[in-house]
Structure 1
Amino acid sequence: MTEDATVVVAGGGLAGLVASRHLAEAGVDVTLYEREGTVGGRVRTHREGGFVFDRGFQVLFTSYPAARRELDFGTLDLRRFTPGACIARPGERSILSDPLRDLGALTESLFNREVTVRDKLLTLKLRRELAKRSREEIFSGSDASIGRYLREYGFSEGFVEHFAAPFYGGITLDRSLSTSKRVFEYTFRALSNGAIAVPATGMGAIPRQLADRAEAAGATVETDSEVESVDRTGDGVTAALDGESVDADAVVVATDPKSARDLTGIESVPTDARGCVTQYYAYPAAKRIDAGKRLILNAAGEDPNHVVDLSAVAPEYSPDDTTLLSVTFLGERTETDGELADLTHEALASWYPEHSFADLELVRTERVPFAQFRQPPGFRESLPGVRTPEGPVYLAGDYTGWSSINAAMESGRRAAEAAIDDLQVRP
Structure 2
Amino acid sequence: MSDIAVAGAGLAGLVAARRLAESGHDVTLFEEREDVGGRVRTRNVDGFTCDRGFQVLFEAYPAVRRELDLDALSLRSFAPGGVICRPGKRSTLSDPLRDPGALLPSALSREVTFADKLRTLRLRRRLTGGDWPEFGTPDQSIRAYLRDRGFSEAFVENFAAPLYGGITLDRSLSTSANVFEYTFRAMSLGSIAVPAEGMAAIPAQLAERARDAGADIRTGVAVDDLDTGGNRIALDTESGSHEFDAAVVATDPPTARELTGVESVPTEGSGVVTQQYRLPGPELDAGTRIMLNAGGEAPNTVAQLSSVAPEYGDGSDDALLAASFVDDGAQDRPADELAAQTREALSSWYPARDVSGLEPLATDRIPFAQFAQPPGAHARLPDVDEPAGPVFLAGDYTRWSSIQGALESGARAADAVDGAFDA
Q: What TM-score does the superposition give when structure 1 sets the normalisation length?
A: 0.97
1:82 aligned residue: 79
Partner SS state of residue 54, structure 2:
coil
Counterparts of 1:247 and 1:333, CA distance in 2: 41
Q: Does 1:341 align with 2:336?
A: no
8 Å CA contact retained: 1:138, 1:185: no
8 Å CA contact retained: 2:45, 2:362: no
Percent identity (aligned): 57
Q: 1:8-407 alignment to 2 at 5 Å?
A: 8-135=5-132, 137-242=133-238, 244-285=240-281, 287-321=282-316, 322-331=318-327, 332-407=330-405
8 Å CA contact retained: 1:261, 1:269: yes
Counterparts of 1:90 and 1:5, CA distance in 2: 62
8 Å CA contact retained: 1:274, 1:372: yes
8 Å CA contact retained: 2:331, 2:367: no
Give the superposition deviation at 1:28: 0.4
Give the superposition deviation at 1:276: 0.5
8 Å CA contact retained: 1:78, 1:198: yes
Deviations 1:144-195 (CA, angstroms, capped at 9, x unpaired)? 0000110110000000000000000000000000000000000000100000
Partner SS state of residue 281, structure 1:
strand
User: Which of 406, 412, 417 lines up with 1:414 in the alignment?
Assistant: 412
8 Å CA contact retained: 1:63, 1:193: yes
Deviations 1:4-23 (CA, angstroms, capped at 9, x unpaired)? 31000000000000000000
Counterparts of 1:335 and 1:356, CA distance in 2: 24
Counterparts of 1:66 and 1:164, CA distance in 2: 25
Give the superposition deviation at 1:47: 1.2
Give the superposition deviation at 1:369: 1.1
Partner SS state of residue 87, structure 1:
strand
Give the superposition deviation at 1:128: 1.1
Partner SS state of residue 233, structure 1:
coil
Letter in 2 for 1:301: G
Letter in 1 for 2:235: A
Counterparts of 2:256 and 2:166, CA distance in 1: 26
Deviations 1:293-350 (CA, angstroms, capped at 9, x unpaired)? 0000000110000000000000011112221000110155211001111111111100
8 Å CA contact retained: 2:50, 2:312: yes
Deviations 1:349-368 (CA, angstroms, capped at 9, x unpaired)? 00000001121111111111
Give the superposition deviation at 1:248: 0.1
8 Å CA contact retained: 2:135, 2:379: no
Deviations 1:247-289 (CA, angstroms, capped at 9, x unpaired)? 000000000000000000101000112110110110123x211
Counterparts of 2:146 and 2:193, CA distance in 1: 26
Give the superposition deviation at 1:111: 1.0
Counterparts of 1:267 and 1:199, CA distance in 2: 36
Partner SS state of residue 149, structure 1:
helix
Deviations 1:108-148 (CA, angstroms, capped at 9, x unpaired)? 0011100011100000111111122423x542431000001
Letter in 1 for 2:125: R
Partner SS state of residue 194, structure 2:
strand
Counterparts of 2:264 and 2:405, CA distance in 1: 17
Partner SS state of residue 387, structure 2:
coil
8 Å CA contact retained: 2:136, 2:376: no
8 Å CA contact retained: 2:271, 2:369: yes
Counterparts of 1:166 and 1:133, CA distance in 2: 28
Gap runs ≥5 in structure 1:
none
Counterparts of 2:22 and 2:349, CA distance in 1: 52
